[in-house]
Amino acid sequence: MREQRPILIVGFVTPVLMALTGTEPGGSVILVEEPDVIRKRDLRTRLAGSPLVGALIGWEHARPGSADEFYVAHPDLDPAAVIPLIEYATPFAARLAERYGLPGATLGAAQILRDKAMLRKVSAAAGLANPESATVTSPEDVLAFLRAHPGPVVLKPANRQAAVGTQIIRDPGEVEGAWASCVEQDEGIFVPDRPMELSMLVERYVPGPEYSVEMLVRDGRQLFANVTGKQLYPGPRPVELAHIVPADIPGDLTEELAELTCQVVEAVGFADGILHCEWIVSDGRPYLVECAGRIAGDGIMEVIDRAYSMELLRSYVAMMRGEMLPELPRRAKGGAAVRFVPMEPGVIDAVLGLDQARQVEGVFLVDIQVEPGHRFTGLRSSWDRTGLVMAVADSPAEALQRAEKAAGLIRIEVTPEP
């Protein structure tokens, strides 16, 4: 009998590996991660004795050309699937899938999705609405764009994740400070120590509600789609405060956002995988924000499973292995929501109210990742959020109410710093 072929996963994401434990054969995952990240996150110790991860390979996967090096170094690995879990791993995984002859995004599609400026050009050529934008290399370039496009603008990196280095600028006097703040893009333990190329983008600010489409794609065709509603923290940093599944919007807008995401798929030539595609609807017209060729973060995968009574991650892995899938749900059976827990800058003295939050009806997860002594200097990106609450209900609106109620019961007491 032939031995079980391994699944090659690129990038360490704790909730995903936990979700796959017990659904995949023991030791069947080979995890590839950057050597610096392995060291900084102490992954060899954390994964010792893991029932799921059979091997951990340190490899600089974020470098161009590294997938071909990996394939040449491991020609007999014979994986059943190659799956990226983090943004910076998507080109590597796409190219590696090509080399092993497996389903994947295609390297061309992965490279376009990784570069927001390139995605703007390709999607605009396909007729999709994009805010006016320009690549910039200095504050002077941003000021020139502001003169040509009066009104608020968004300054952001073209090649980062988690809203790192992203800021809304409403006045020319803010440009110098915003530039200095945005080009500082340290992601700490989540990225390698070597410098990453800096590529900045400025674009017209588009006001309106935000949504994301999570879409499972095989051979360039939609197998499953969900639309998630979003809320943002107030202020100049567009960091997400809540996710609501499914978005509480009219059916025709849900269908339009899914159809537009299919057009992104076609425009970039995306073949096999999962997409997390973000949109802003302004005056009734959806504008493309960005699109990632990977699973959604922020607990969105978990709340999709709860709302639709499905296992999206498991279906994704099975599809990437080339397996046939049962018919996937077209509509949610209920609602589910993620709500993040705000806190004020300072040094944490105490985290209170966790037990009360867990007792709120419908709440199935309370996850606070800070403790006394932690220093919080303010919200700059998604990495700075302190924790979250997840809840389910019969409707999306009620699920959000329950998650908000539970989050409101959590008190993070801090001592402000000068």
Tens-digit pLDDT profile for residues 145-159? 999 998 899 998 877
Strand ranges of the sheet holding 200-204, from the earlier edge strand across to the other edge: 133-136, 200-204, 153-157, 167-169
Q: Is 46 helix (H, G, I), strand (E, B) or coil?
A: helix
Least trusted range by pLDDT, from 11-15, 191-195, 301-305: 191-195
Beta bridge partners of 393: 335
| Cα–Cα distance, 236 to 19 (Å, whole number) | 34
Q: Convert the pLDDT of each residue in 199-210 to its tens digit.
A: 889 999 999 999
Tell me if the pTM is above 0.85: yes
Reported in sequence order, the residue ranges of 99-256 that DSSP labels E, i.e. its strands, are 133-136, 153-157, 167-169, 200-204, 210-218, 221-232, 240-245
Q: Secondary structure of the chain: what % helix, strand, coil (to 5)? A: 35, 30, 40
pLDDT at 70 over 90: yes
**Mean pLDDT on 279-289:** 97
Q: Convert the pLDDT of each residue in 311-342 to its tens digit.
A: 999 999 999 999 999 899 999 999 999 999 98
Q: Is 269 left (phi over 0), alpha (psi -120 to 50) or beta?
A: left
Q: What confidence score (pLDDT) does residue 191 get?
A: 74
Beta bridge partners of 29: 7, 53
| Cα–Cα distance, 91 to 272 (Å, whole number) | 13
C-alpha atoms less than 13 angstroms from C-alpha of 48 in its C-beta half-sphere: 4
Q: What confidence score (pLDDT) does residue 1 get?
A: 32
| Cα–Cα distance, 155 to 93 (Å, whole number) | 29
Q: What confidence score (pLDDT) does residue 185 get?
A: 61
Q: Convert the pLDDT of each residue in 92-109 to its tens digit.
A: 999 999 999 999 999 999
Q: What confidence score (pLDDT) does residue 9 get?
A: 96
Name residue 291's amino acid. C
Q: At what angle do helices 251-268 and 107-114 cross, to 10 degrees?
A: 120
Q: Convert the pLDDT of each residue in 240-265 to its tens digit.
A: 899 999 999 999 999 999 999 999 99
Pick the closest to residue 269 from 123, 69, 79, 89 (CA basis): 123
**Mean pLDDT on 374-392:** 83
Question: Which run of H or of E encompasses 337?
Answer: strand 335-340
Name residue 176's amino acid. E
Pick the closest to residue 338 from 216, 212, 160 (CA basis): 212
Pick the closest to residue 391 from 309, 305, 311, 303 (CA basis): 303
